[in-house]
Copies of this chain bind each other. A is one copy, B any other.
Amino acid sequence: MITTGSRKYATKSIVQLTREKYPKIKRNDSFKKLEQEDINFFKSVLQNDNGVVTNKDDLEFFNEDWMRKYRGESAVVLKPKTVQEVSQIVKYCNEKKLAIVPQGGNTGLVGGSVPVFDEVILSLSSMKKIRSFDKVSGILKADAGLILENADIYLSERGYIFPLDLGAKGSCHIGGNVATNAGGLRLLRYGSLHGSVLGLEVVLPDGTILDSMHSLRKDNTGYDLKQMFIGSEGTLGIITGVSILCPARPKAFNVAFLGVSSYEAVQKTFVHARGELSEILSAFEFMDSKSQKLTAKHLNSPHPLDDPFPFYILIETSGSNKEHDDAKLESFLESAMENGLIDDGIVAQDETQVQTLWQWREQIPEASTIGGGVYKYDVSLPLPDLYGLVEAVRAKLNDANLIGETDEFPVVDAVGYGHIGDGNLHLNVAVRRYTKDVEKVLEPFVYEWIQSKKGSISAEHGLGFQKKNYIHYSKSDQEIKMIKDLKNHYDPNGILNPYKYV
């Protein structure tokens, strides 16, 4: 997760081309190479200003991923404004066998939104209109390129909230959120997009427009086609419109920041919180002590809790009655203290403190880049095993003598944090430099460890380019066979987001 709206370059250095970094991956020769006649066709379709971008400097942003790990060499970015334009482009590309990368806010963390070679980049950034909003039902219909934060601001003015929140909200698109099945900070409360998305408009690989922009909470007439596209990372179709059910905006928010003595206590506090806070519990995040040390350096400010603790918990409640929520939280904290679950804690007294406390969770990803780079793992694990992965990785790095405080060690530290409520761990291995030694210790060890616990190697970030080859650690042969079969069935030419996902 990236915590700021604007892109931050860790260094000014040029990102290595993906094809150079991964020389074993070859361009698919069945794909046509872009020619001037193709550009001419795109220009004839996109007659709006800047609809066809070919300027080298302008292309840079679209060719590079947010993490600055991957760089493609696309010679053209297309910015359609309507679904019909998207349809015409895709139909043409399918006929000519021009490969396409659909791109939203380009904030993905697994290299899924940038070209690997010379794929045409189809950016949804010019499709950003709100189509309709129903104040009674809370159903929002919008273009896929609408920025998440803009959607939420629009909704907040009308008493509603977008059922998804994540660090990249200032840049990411709601269409990209759906295409990657983004999870984020509010999943515990509002559930997954598979539940809240009511309809989609999608351009299929042959250019056909699938208009499924329904606005019904219940509709049992035929297969729920839209579900296939949620989390398909642009490999089955290009999402151009989203219809989504938005909940009423809570009137009251509380945030508590707690210190506990063990991972065992983190788990017990979670069970206790779910029982006591129940319907108002909207986030239960945990952070280990090392993540907080990095964040303290990064923020250059004193930690909210005076004494250090092995683990920290951030609890957010949101409800309709501040008085009741305060009472529930107070009673929960008292009993958790009495039962010896938590050792110390602070409750935000105003909106500023809410933001400040959240920083100690939300800034960890950036803090993890303090040494220069970071290996990021975003995994699902059964709760009892969740933190075990961080300990196992740290032990392996120690054994290999790769982790330490001085510059001779490539690894700064391995830190763990994440959404306990969702069984979702973020493991960040902060490094001073990317080395083969470190990579050999990490992989496939991390994936094998997850597999042995029946976890998922990608809880919310998706597969993209980075994890394409690791899917078998989380899915069975039969599942992978069906996934490939679906892909081949809908996109026989394989033009949509190739070299990724499956």
User: Is the CB–CB distance between A383 and B222 below 8 Å?
Assistant: no
A221 CA / B232 CA spacing, docked (Å)? 9
Closest B residue to A473 by beta carbon equals B221
A5 CA / B136 CA spacing, docked (Å)? 36
Question: How close is A487's CB to chain B, nearest CB, in angstroms?
Answer: 8
User: Is the CB–CB distance between A231 and B220 below 8 Å?
Assistant: yes
Closest B residue to A267 by beta carbon equals B136
CB of A382 within 8 A of chain B? yes
How many chain A residues touch the partner (CB < 8 A)? 87
A231 CA / B228 CA spacing, docked (Å)? 13
**A227, A276, A467 — most chain B CB neighbours (10 Å):** A227
Closest B residue to A276 by beta carbon equals B320
User: Is the CB–CB distance between B456 and A219 below 8 Å?
Assistant: yes
Known: A192-B195, A321-B324, A482-B210. A218 touches B422 (CB 8 A): yes
Instruction: Specify which of B227, B455, B478 is in contact with A216 (CB 8 Å cutoff).
Output: B455
* Chain A 269-305 per-residue mask, 1 if CB under 8 angstroms from chain B, else 0: 0110011111110000000000000000000000000
Instruction: Specify which of B136, B236, B422, B479 is in contact with A271 (CB 8 Å cutoff).
Output: B136
CB of A496 within 8 A of chain B? no
Question: How close is A494's CB to chain B, nearest CB, in angstroms?
Answer: 15
A324 CA / B192 CA spacing, docked (Å)? 28
A424: chain B residues within 8 A (beta carbon): 217-218
CB of A18 within 8 A of chain B? no
A25: chain B residues within 8 A (beta carbon): none
Question: How close is A423's CB to chain B, nearest CB, in angstroms?
Answer: 5
User: Is the CB–CB distance between A183 and B218 below 8 Å?
Assistant: yes
7 nearest CB pairs, A to B:
A195-B195, A278-B320, A227-B227, A219-B456, A218-B459, A216-B380, A324-B324
Q: Which residues of A contact B (CB under 8 A)?
A: 134, 136-137, 159, 180-181, 183, 187, 191-192, 194-196, 208-212, 214-225, 227-228, 230-232, 236, 248, 250-251, 267, 270-271, 274-280, 319-321, 324, 327-328, 380, 382-384, 419, 422-424, 454-463, 467, 471, 474-476, 478-480, 482-483, 486, 489, 501-502
16 intermolecular pairs with C-beta atoms under 8 Å apart: A136-B384, A187-B217, A191-B196, A192-B218, A194-B224, A214-B456, A217-B423, A220-B462, A221-B457, A221-B458, A223-B231, A223-B232, A225-B483, A250-B278, A321-B328, A489-B489
